[in-house]
Amino acid sequence: MSEFFSMGGYGSFIWAAFGLSAVVLIGLFVQSQRFLKTSEAELSALQDREADNGA
């Protein structure tokens, strides 16, 4: 099992790359969710304004 984690002596580089990739992907996911909520709120406000002006 330890040979698997050491990856022939390159384990520290490989696991660091996996960890960094995971952090970047999680960050992108969080940023995308925040942008989605902001965009939905802006769309809702625009639709409400349009409904008020059109009525």
Q: Is the pTM of this model over 0.95?
A: no
Distance separating the N- and C-terminal Cα atoms of the chain: 70
> Residue 45 belongs to what domain range?
2-54
Got the DSSP string for 33-53?
HHHHHHHHHHHHHHHHHHHHH
> Residue 55 above 70 pLDDT?
no
**Per-residue pLDDT averaged across 29-50, rounded?**
97
Number of domains in the chain: 1
Confidence of residue 34 (pLDDT cuts 50, 70, 90): very high
Q: What is the mean pLDDT of the chain?
A: 94
E-strand spans in the chain? none
Q: Which amino acid is at 44?
A: S
